[in-house]
Amino acid sequence: MTTAPTPVSADPAASADPMPQPPEQPDLDACCGNGCDPCIFDSYDLAMDEYRQALRAWKARNETPAGQG
């Protein structure tokens, strides 16, 4: 049995500092409608805020200086 080689990124920094991934959005019918605190959508909104903050920080760490790309 042979296995395919694991793809190697050309940029080693990319694997050391991967781009954040957005949280999975809950299905619209995932909310039970009972006024839970927090609601599943409140939790998702918080996770999206954290994702956006992490993405901004990641972009700042990984931006290409002007004139170099």
Would residue 25 count as lying in a domain? Answer: no
Residue 67: inside a domain? no
* 43 in a structural domain: yes
Residue 50 lies in a domain: yes
Residue partners of 26: CB distance under 8 A and separation at least 6: 40, 41, 44
**Tens digit of each residue's pLDDT (9 = 90 or more) over 9-54:** 556 666 799 999 999 999 999 999 999 999 999 999 999 999 999 9
CA angle 31, 33, 38 (to 5 degrees): 65
51 is in which domain, residue-wise? 34-60
- The count of domains in the chain is 1
| pTM, 2 dp | 0.69
Cα angle 34-39-45, degrees, rounded to a multiple of 5: 155
Within 10 angstroms of residue 10's Cβ, the number of other Cβ atoms is 6
Q: Kindly state whether residue 45 falls inside one of the protein's structural domains.
A: yes
